[in-house]
């Protein structure tokens, strides 16, 4: 399926326009004040460059911070219930990193296993992921420790690699990718062996640990309370890490009502919050922060891989950049992995 | 552009979060702050297709307040209705406690795994429960009693803090009358009334007194954490193996279908891989329940 | 740094405190992280710099840290003000916390609330020029403009509650957002709910905020909530003469009633 070609960076405008004409909403990293966020660029030069990673992930495209699942209103003694249409706006997510592209597999595993979530499936079906390989990384990145890489094609429909400041190598990987390229086929030229140059431009992301090995014996560290306490001592118990994370998918279900009408919402939540496992009786299976920190690590690096066969972490580093007290997940996990020796 | 439309009938439904409408056909006050609802599906088609097995639970809705997780407290051998018993403890249960016969609430389910009653045929069954934890066991008590000749001895040890706190008082009286059920009901020391003729003592102490024998026996145990903690050593001392002891966990749950993450314990989801577990299985799990 | 490290070591080895809460080098050159020094070796990692923005007093009320014993905490004026505000609010007892006040490379050890009060009284207090200019600029905007600004900014809030977690004065064991009978503040991060949350928090901090800026530093969306808190802090000052953290006098503007209160509705 994978075919390589060359796309001139100057052609991006024409390609985006073709996508627009084909009814696609385009979301790309765009500078807004002092931040880079995912938004619809009004022109190709609005797409941000020269940054390692956006502060927030793009998961809101398929898993929004809050989502109306039902509406209801009292109807005499009865209740009238309405559901939202299961449809999604065709969207091209342009300019995400390979780690972000890989994260959709994790979200998909959660939302489609056992009982498929029809909205999620509709959103994924309508989403085309066009990623850009990483030519730079920072001290927070660790994709290469969790089965990913700065030029990994996992999860992308098209992967673009900047060979120089004029040209991208375009790897068209899926049918959706082919459809996207076919919107403006004249923009793509044969690769002529340039694919061999891909490796040369990629960032070097040092491997800090080996996730698959680590997943095997991480559960044996469960009872090392001393370690979990020490690592989490500075953790403040906020939800910043979970909310900027592309693979965190835990949610709350909340009803909001005004008089006799209301809505049932799904809202982002975090296992780091005290309330997450709190019973109405007051009993809390994870009543101290060290236990909640342990759950975060265990879930991402052991439970989720074992149960759903997907990594719980793509090594994007956002949690560590966002954390108010510099809880560096890659660093903590490396420390844990070194305890095996 | 998202539009909203009337929820389609159950057979066409794709939204796994839309509850079925249930009418409260009977409401009983069991104990202070404890109520039982007998519920019937409003939609006859759903009622006809619905089935469940003992041990499964549901998410019960008050539209506008939220959902609460309770086991289905009635037996699958009784058709045409389901029952739930709950204690008023928080926002949703307080709203539920205000509902009356004839009112409509929501129900999603059945979720979770089941007590393997078919595998228990031919064995003796010992039920041990405390307080508000009798409802999750009651479904399987009635399942066994409704198929009585498939099982050997059936014994029930049940206790609550006080006489008033005992749930299913009428059923306890019925079980007491039956010659094919051995029943011990107890209240905590100080919880008895002058008229009380049952036992006085904590459930673990009564279990020790009764001295159930493990041979060919399945024990179903459910109660507040402290009761479980103190009863397990008694059963171990009597020779019960972890594979013979079943319990049902009550974790904080929301979605019921293994997605929201709340009930994740180790690599399992209590809503999918439980809530019914043997002690042997629980011993493999991190103690986060 | 040597002075700080030596001071920390002497406090620890002498048994005066069991933990020195300071900063250590973080993941990157411009990043610092809270550090809990419990030994002389630990104390060698203590540093301080421009990027040390998280108010360390927040850890004094954490059970995990309280369990360690007597603590010393490193910081500047806003950390010291937090200690006095904790005193006003009965959160810490006098003499159980040592403040290590840092200024121009010097370390001053303050072992009582009185000492902290005196230290702060000897130094200029009030807003920095930059803060003052920002507040004036904000006040100069029309109400319509200010409403538009805050509506837009707060719409971006994702309700991660990093601001609350980072703020030393947000120490309620059960936050108002965690109450669901009734659900005072809706859970979902829609624009209106966000406004409710941030305004409620600002109101709960009015007259208590010490302007440490930890909230804004913590916010992953870079929302200037510190500015909102400062606006209310100024209001509390102007209307009631209330200014947090300079005295242990137990008088909190919003919970004290005087018969000559200027509000007539209350009479």
pLDDT digits (tens, 9 = 90+) for B105-147: 999 999 999 999 999 999 999 999 999 999 999 999 999 999 9
Token digits for A279?
A: 């019973």
Q: Is the peptide bond before C206 cis (omega within 30 degrees of 0)?
A: no
Token digits for C135?
A: 């507040």
Among A39, A63, A234, which would you mutate to test the C interface (most chain C Cβ atoms within 10 Å of its Cβ)? A234
Confirm if A252 and B260 have CB atoms less than 8 A apart.
yes
**Residue ranges per domain, chain C?**
2-121, 129-255
Partner-chain contact B18 A83, CB within 8 Å = yes
How far is residue B69's CA from residue C44's CA, in Å, rounded to a whole number?
52
Strand B276-278 to B268-269 pairing: unpaired
Give the residue ranges of chain C where pLDDT is below 50.
Answer: none
Mean pLDDT for chain B? Answer: 95
Q: Count of B–C CB contacts within 8 Å? A: 6
How far is residue C133's CA from residue B215's CA, in Å, rounded to a whole number?
82
Measured between CA atoms, how close is B159 to chain C, in angstroms? 31
C179 touches chain B (CB under 8 A): no
Chains that touch C (3 or more CB pairs under 8 A): A, B
Q: Which residue of A has its CA nearest to C180?
A: A254
**Residue ranges per domain, chain B?**
16-111, 117-248
CA dihedral C248, C61, C195, C214 (to 10 degrees): 80
Among B109, B266, B269, which would you mutate to test the A interface (most chain A Cβ atoms within 10 Å of its Cβ)? B266
Confirm if B96 and B135 have CB atoms less than 8 A apart.
no
How far is residue A219's CA from residue A207's CA, in Å, rounded to a whole number?
22
CA distances to A270, B276, B277, C43, C226 from B58, in Å: 23, 14, 17, 54, 45
Residue among B1, B2, B288 minimizing CB distance to A286: B288
Q: Residue A341's pLDDT is what? A: 55
Measured between CA atoms, how close is C160 to chain A, in angstroms? 4
Measured between CA atoms, how close is A308 to chain C, in angstroms? 27
ipTM score of complex: 0.95
Q: Which residue of C has its CA nearest to B94?
A: C181
Backbone angles phi, psi at C146, to 5 degrees: -65, -40
Q: Residue A87's pLDDT is what? A: 85
Partner-chain contact B268 A307, CB within 8 Å = yes
Query: Torsion-angle region of residue B7: left (phi > 0), alpha (psi -120 to 50) or beta?
Result: beta
Distance between alpha carbon B87 and the CA centroid of its chain, in Å?
A: 12
Residue among B5, B103, B258 minimizing CB distance to A114: B258
Give B286's contacts in chain A (Cβ within 8 Å): 222, 298
Confirm if C9 and C35 have CB atoms less than 8 A apart.
no
How far is residue C56's CA from residue C34's CA, in Å, rounded to a whole number?
7
Q: Residue C256's pLDDT is what? A: 78
How far is residue C205's CA from residue C146's CA, in Å, rounded to a whole number?
20
Residue among B3, B225, B252 minimizing CB distance to A85: B3
Q: Which residue of B has its CA nearest to C182?
A: B91
A286 touches chain B (CB under 8 A): yes
Superfamily name with CATH number, domain B16-111: Translation factors (2.40.30.10)
Residue A242 burial class via C-beta count within 10 angstroms: exposed 0-12, middle 13-18, buried 19 and up? buried
How far is residue A290's CA from residue A273's CA, in Å, rounded to a whole number?
12
A274 touches chain B (CB under 8 A): no
Angle of helix A289-298 versus helix A225-232 axis, rounded to 10: 100
Neighbour tally for B211: CB within 10 Å: 9
The total number of residues shown for chain B amounts to 289
Q: Residue A330's pLDDT is what? A: 96
pTM attached to this predicted model:
0.95
Partner-chain contact B64 A257, CB within 8 Å = yes
Biggest distance spanned by C-alpha atoms of chain B: 68
Give the residue ranges of chain A where pLDDT is below 50.
Answer: 1
DSSP string, A207-232: ----HHHHHHHGGGGTT-HHHHHHHH
CA distance from start to end of chain A: 41
Label residue B237 by pLDDT band (50, 70, 90): very high
How far is residue B113's CA from residue B72's CA, in Å, rounded to a whole number?
12
Measured between CA atoms, how close is A301 to chain C, in angstroms? 21
| Best CA proximity match to B156, nearest among B164, B147, B177 | B177
**Domain encompassing residue A48:** 3-338
How far is residue B286's CA from residue A223's CA, in Å, rounded to a whole number?
9
Chain B, residues 89-118, CB within 8 A of chain C, namely 90-91, 94
Give B94's contacts in chain C (Cβ within 8 Å): 181
Please give the DSSP secondary-structure letter assigned to residue A176: H
Chain B, residues 64-93, CB within 8 A of chain C, namely 90-91
| Best CA proximity match to C230, nearest among C154, C149, C136 | C136
Output the 3-class SS for chain C.
CHHHHHHHHHHHHCCCCCEEEEEEECCCCCCEEEEEECCHHHHCCCECCCCCCCCHHHHHHCHHHHCCCCEEEEECHHHHHHHHHHHHCCCCCCCCEEEEEEECCEEEEECCHHHHHHHHHCCCCCCCHHHHHHHHHHHHCCHHHHHHHHHHHHHCCCCCCHHHHHCCCCCCCCCHHHCCCCCCCCCCCCHHHHHHHHHHHHHHHCCCCCCCCHHHHHCCCCCCHHHHHHHHHHHHHHHHCCCCCCCCCCCCHHHCCCCCCCCHHHC
Q: Which residue of A has its CA nearest to B266?
A: A303
Residue C58 burial class via C-beta count within 10 angstroms: exposed 0-12, middle 13-18, buried 19 and up? buried
Q: Which residue of A has its CA nearest to B91?
A: A280
Tens digit of each residue's pLDDT (9 = 90 or more) over A224-243: 999 999 999 999 999 999 99
A40 touches chain B (CB under 8 A): no
Give A278's contacts in chain B (Cβ within 8 Å): 252
Tens digit of each residue's pLDDT (9 = 90 or more) over B173-200: 999 999 999 999 999 999 999 999 999 9
The structure tokens 């011993």 sit at: B283
Measured between CA atoms, how close is B226 to chain C, in angstroms? 24
Among B100, B258, B265, B288, which would you mutate to test the A interface (most chain A Cβ atoms within 10 Å of its Cβ)? B288
The structure tokens 């179903």 sit at: B220
Evaluate the CA torsion angle B113, B118, B122, B127 in order and state its sign. positive
Beta strands in chain B (DSSP E): 4-6, 20-31, 34-41, 57-62, 66-71, 82-87, 104-111, 124-130, 154-160, 182-187, 199-200, 217-222, 245-248, 264-265, 268-269, 276-278
Angle of helix C113-121 versus helix C77-88 axis, rounded to 10: 130
Partner-chain contact A83 B7, CB within 8 Å = yes
Helix (H) or strand (E) holding A320: helix A318-322
Chains that touch A (3 or more CB pairs under 8 A): B, C
| Best CA proximity match to A127, nearest among A109, A153, A147, A108 | A108
Q: Residue C10's pLDDT is what? A: 97
Q: Residue B12's pLDDT is what? A: 65
Partner-chain contact A325 C34, CB within 8 Å = yes
The structure tokens 């992967």 sit at: A159
Chain C, residues 202-261, CB within 8 A of chain B, namely none
Token digits for B161?
A: 């803090």
Angle of helix A98-112 versus helix A118-125 axis, rounded to 10: 150
Partner-chain contact A55 C220, CB within 8 Å = yes
CA distance from start to end of chain B: 42
Mean pLDDT for chain C? Answer: 94
Give B98's contacts in chain C (Cβ within 8 Å): none
Helix (H) or strand (E) holding B225: helix B225-238
Q: Which CATH class is domain B117-248?
A: alpha beta
A307 touches chain C (CB under 8 A): no
How far is residue A214's CA from residue A118's CA, in Å, rounded to a whole number?
34
> What is the percent of chain B with per-residue pLDDT over 70, rounded to a whole number?
98
**Which of helix, strand or coil describes residue B67?**
strand
| Best CA proximity match to B168, nearest among B85, B99, B235 | B85
Partner-chain contact A325 C64, CB within 8 Å = no
B252 touches chain C (CB under 8 A): no
Among B64, B67, B91, B93, which would you mutate to test the C interface (most chain C Cβ atoms within 10 Å of its Cβ)? B91
Q: Residue C1's pLDDT is what? A: 84
Q: Residue B128's pLDDT is what? A: 98
Partner-chain contact B90 C180, CB within 8 Å = yes
How far is residue A152's CA from residue B25's CA, in Å, rounded to a whole number?
59
Q: Which residue of C has its CA nearest to B89?
A: C181
| Best CA proximity match to A132, nearest among A103, A152, A147 | A152
Q: Which residue of C has its CA nearest to A36?
A: C221
User: CA triplet C183, C186, C187: central angle to 5 degrees?
Assistant: 110
């Amino acid at each position: 399926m994978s075919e390589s070609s060359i796309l001139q960076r100057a052609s991006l405008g024409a390609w985006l326009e073709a996508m627009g004409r084909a009814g696609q909403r385009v979301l790309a990293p765009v500078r807004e004040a002092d931040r880079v966020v995912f938004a619809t660029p009004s022109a190709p030069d609005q797409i941000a460059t020269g940054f390692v990673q956006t502060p927030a992930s793009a998961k809101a495209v398929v898993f929004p911070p809050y989502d109306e699942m039902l509406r209801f209103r009292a109807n005499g003694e009865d209740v009238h219930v309405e559901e939202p249409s299961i449809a999604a706006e065709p969207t091209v997510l342009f300019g995400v990193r390979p780690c972000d592209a890989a994260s959709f597999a994790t979200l998909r595993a959660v939302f489609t296993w056992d009982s498929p979530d029809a909205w999620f499936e509709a959103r994924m079906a309508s989403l085309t992921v066009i990623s850009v390989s990483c030519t730079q990384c920072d001290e927070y990145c660790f994709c290469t420790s969790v089965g990913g890489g700065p030029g990994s094609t996992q999860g992308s429909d098209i992967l673009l690699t900047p060979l120089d400041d004029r040209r991208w190598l375009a790897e068209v990987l899926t049918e959706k990718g082919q459809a996207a390229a076919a919107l403006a086929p004249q923009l793509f030229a044969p690769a002529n062996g340039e694919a061999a140059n891909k490796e040369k431009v990629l960032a070097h992301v040092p491997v800090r640990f080996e996730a698959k090995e680590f997943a095997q014996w991480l559960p044996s560290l469960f009872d090392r309370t001393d370690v979990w306490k020490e690592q989490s001592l500075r953790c403040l118990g906020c939800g910043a890490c979970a909310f900027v994370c592309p693979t965190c998918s835990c949610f709350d279900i909340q009803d909001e009502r005004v008089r006799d009408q209301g809505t049932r919402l799904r809202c982002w939540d975090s296992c780091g919050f005290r309330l997450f496992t709190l019973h109405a009786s007051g009993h809390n299976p994870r009543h101290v922060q060290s236990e909640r920190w342990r759950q975060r690590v265990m879930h991402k690096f052991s439970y989720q891989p074992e149960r759903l066969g997907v990594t719980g972490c793509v090594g994007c580093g956002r949690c560590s950049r966002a954390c108010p007290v510099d809880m560096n997940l890659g660093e903590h996990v490396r420390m844990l992995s070194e305890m095996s020796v | 552009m998202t539009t909203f439309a009337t929820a389609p009938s159950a057979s066409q439904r794709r939204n796994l979060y839309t509850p079925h409408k249930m009418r409260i056909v009977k409401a009983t006050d069991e104990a202070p702050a404890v109520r039982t609802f007998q519920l019937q599906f409003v939609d006859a088609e759903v009622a006809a297709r619905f089935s469940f097995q003992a041990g499964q639970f549901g998410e019960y809705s008050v539209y506008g307040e939220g959902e609460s997780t309770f086991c289905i407290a009635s037996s699958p051998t009784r058709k045409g209705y389901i029952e739930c018993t709950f204690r008023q403890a928080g926002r949703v249960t307080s709203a539920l406690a205000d509902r009356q016969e004839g009112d409509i609430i929501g129900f999603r389910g059945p979720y979770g795994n089941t007590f393997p009653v078919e595998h228990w045929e031919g064995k003796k069954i010992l039920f041990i429960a405390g307080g508000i934890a009798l409802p999750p066991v009651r479904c399987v008590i009635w399942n066994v009693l409704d198929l009585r000749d498939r099982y050997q001895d059936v014994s029930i040890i049940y206790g609550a803090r006080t006489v008033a706190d005992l749930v299913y008082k009428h059923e306890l009286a019925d079980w007491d009358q039956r010659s094919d059920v051995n029943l011990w009901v107890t209240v905590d020391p100080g919880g008895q009334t002058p008229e009380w003729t049952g036992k006085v003592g904590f459930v673990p102490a009564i279990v020790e007194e009764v001295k159930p024998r493990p041979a060919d026996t399945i024990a179903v145990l459910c109660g507040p954490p402290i009761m479980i903690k103190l009863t397990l050593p008694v059963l171990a001392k009597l020779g019960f193996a972890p594979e013979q002891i079943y319990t049902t966990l009550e974790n904080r749950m929301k979605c019921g279908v293994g997605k929201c993450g709340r009930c994740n314990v180790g690599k399992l989801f209590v809503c999918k891989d439980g809530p019914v577990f043997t002690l042997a299985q629980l011993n493999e799990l991190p103690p986060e329940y | 740094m040597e002075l700080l490290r030596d001071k920390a070591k002497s406090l620890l080895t002498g048994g005066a405190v069991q933990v020195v809460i300071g900063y250590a080098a973080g993941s990157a050159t411009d990043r610092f992280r809270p550090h809990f020094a419990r030994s002389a070796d630990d104390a060698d990692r203590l540093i301080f710099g421009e990027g040390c923005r998280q108010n360390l007093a927040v850890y004094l009320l954490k059970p995990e840290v309280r369990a360690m014993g007597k603590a010393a905490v490193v910081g500047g004026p806003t950390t010291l003000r937090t200690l006095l505000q904790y005193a006003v609010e009965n959160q810490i007892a006098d003499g159980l916390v040592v403040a290590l006040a840092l200024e121009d490379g010097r370390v001053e050890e303050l072992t009582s609330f009185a000492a902290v009060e005196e230290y702060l009284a000897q130094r200029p207090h009030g807003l920095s020029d930059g803060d003052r200019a920002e507040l004036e600029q904000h006040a100069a905007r029309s109400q319509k403009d200010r409403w538009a600004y805050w509506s837009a900014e707060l719409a971006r809030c994702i309700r991660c509650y990093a601001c609350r977690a980072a703020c030393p004065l947000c120490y309620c064991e059960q936050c108002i957002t965690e109450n669901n009978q009734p659900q005072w503040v809706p859970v979902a991060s829609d624009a209106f709910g966000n406004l409710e949350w941030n305004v409620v928090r600002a109101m709960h901090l009015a007259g208590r905020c010490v302007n440490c800026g930890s909230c804004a530093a913590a916010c992953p969306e870079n929302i200037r909530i510190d500015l909102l808190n400062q606006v209310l802090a100024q209001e509390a000052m102007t209307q009631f003469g209330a200014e947090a953290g300079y005295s242990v006098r137990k008088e909190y503007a919003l919970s004290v009633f005087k018969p000559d209160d200027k509000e007539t509705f209350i009479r």
